Amino acid sequence: MDRHCGYVALIGAPNVGKSTLLNALVGVKLSIVSPKPQTTRKRVVGVRTEENYQMIFLDTPGIIDPKYELHKVMMQYVDYAIQEADIIGFMIDVVTHKEPKEIITNAIEEKLKSTGKPLILVLNKIDLLESTKLVLPIIDSYAKTELFKEYVPISATKLAGIDELLKVFMHYLPRAEFLYDEEILSTQNERFFVAELIREKLFKMYREEIPYSTEVQIVEFVERQKGKWYINAEIIVEKDTQKPIILGAGGTRIKKLGEVARKDIEAHLGQQVYLELFVKVRKNWRNNKSMLKFFGY
């Protein structure tokens, strides 16, 4: 049987729904999602295997102008994904979308053009439009850029247009043998996903600078034959003043965060866990290259 296999990079501005789409395409929650921009910081891999194809999706951080060393590394992940990809899904949000020129700056246009790879415009959040017809003028404005091979309106949350999108990707997917075993959903390890799930709660439960100033490090990850697994994680903050905010009065907020995170971690691992959280200050870690390296960036 003819088999197809390849990499599909999902790129675009922050908050357009790239991670939601990755999860929809793989059918499991792998990539963390929040209503705040810049949730994704690294490349997240999700694999979908069907009888005749294997698509390896690469979720990436939203494209931004770097203000910190952290942002520079995040944008490197976008570049790597573009380089690795066989197909590039460029995603926009049909509600907050702007003129193509504002989203696809000259620098981005150059980058996309120079790859020579098929570019698919994915128009997300159509469930928020009063009428699906309203995507047509948006498609028209993007068609003028002459960058895209196809235009696919979807709703990643309502799972609308996903089959259509898969068909389009399949059309451009190279003929090749599968790279991974059929049951593989990701190439990243459990430590990564556990840290991400904790970070997701920081994005959902805290406000203003806190989600952006925090990082999560898994210190211990003990898998036990019998009984609960033991996970010890550090929440890293940038300033001394942020530590009491994370903890909350009498440690109530971090306790709540731990409970919510633990439930998600248990669902992800299919395993009961004992989760211990500590808060540590690492001054200005977002601008510290060696610290970023230590955090796995």
Ligand X SMILES: Nc1nc2c(ncn2[C@@H]2O[C@H](COP(=O)(O)OP(=O)(O)OP(=O)(O)O)[C@@H](O)[C@H]2O)c(=O)[nH]1
Q: Footprint of ligand X on this chain (CB under 6 A)? A: 14-20, 33-35, 37-40, 61-62, 124-125, 127-128, 155-157
Q: Say how far apart CA 188 and CA 58 lie, in whole Å.
A: 11
The footprint of Mg ion on this chain (CB under 5 A) covers a number of residues equal to 4
Residue 250's binding partner among ligand X, Mg ion, none (Cβ under 5 to 8 angstroms by kind) is none
Cβ 13 vs Cβ 103: under 8 Å: yes
Select the span of 13-21, 114-122, 221-229, 250-258 touching Mg ion (CB under 5 A). Answer: 13-21
Select the span of 38-46, 63-71, 227-235, 244-252 touching Mg ion (CB under 5 A). Answer: 38-46
Nearer to ligand X, 44 or 119 (CB): 44
What is the side-by-side strand order in the sheet with 87-93? 44-49, 53-59, 4-12, 87-93, 119-124, 150-153
Q: How far is the CB of 16 from Mg ion (least distance, A)?
A: 9
Q: Say how far apart CA 264 and CA 153 lie, in whole Å.
A: 30
Beta strands (DSSP E) in the chain are: 4-12, 44-49, 53-59, 87-93, 119-124, 150-153, 215-222, 229-237, 273-281
Residue 34's binding partner among ligand X, Mg ion, none (Cβ under 5 to 8 angstroms by kind) is ligand X
Give Cβ neighbours of residue 271 (< 8 Å, ≥ 6 apart): 228, 229
Q: Say how far apart CA 213 and CA 201 lie, in whole Å.
A: 13
Strands 44-49 and 53-59, sheet pairing: antiparallel
Restricting to residues 208-247, name those near Mg ion by CB under 5 A.
none
- Candidates 19, 34, 49, 155: give the one binding Mg ion (CB under 5 A): 19
Q: Say how far apart CA 116 and CA 86 lie, in whole Å.
A: 10
Q: How far is the CB of 14 from ligand X (least distance, A)?
A: 4
Q: How far is the CB of 89 from ligand X (least distance, A)?
A: 11
Backbone angles phi, psi at 86, to 5 degrees: -95, -30
Q: How far is the CB of 143 from Mg ion (least distance, A)?
A: 26
Nearer to ligand X, 61 or 100 (CB): 61
Nearer to Mg ion, 156 or 236 (CB): 156
User: Is 40 among the residues that bind Mg ion (CB under 5 A)?
Assistant: yes
**Contacts with Mg ion, residue ranges (CB under 5 A):** 18-19, 39-40
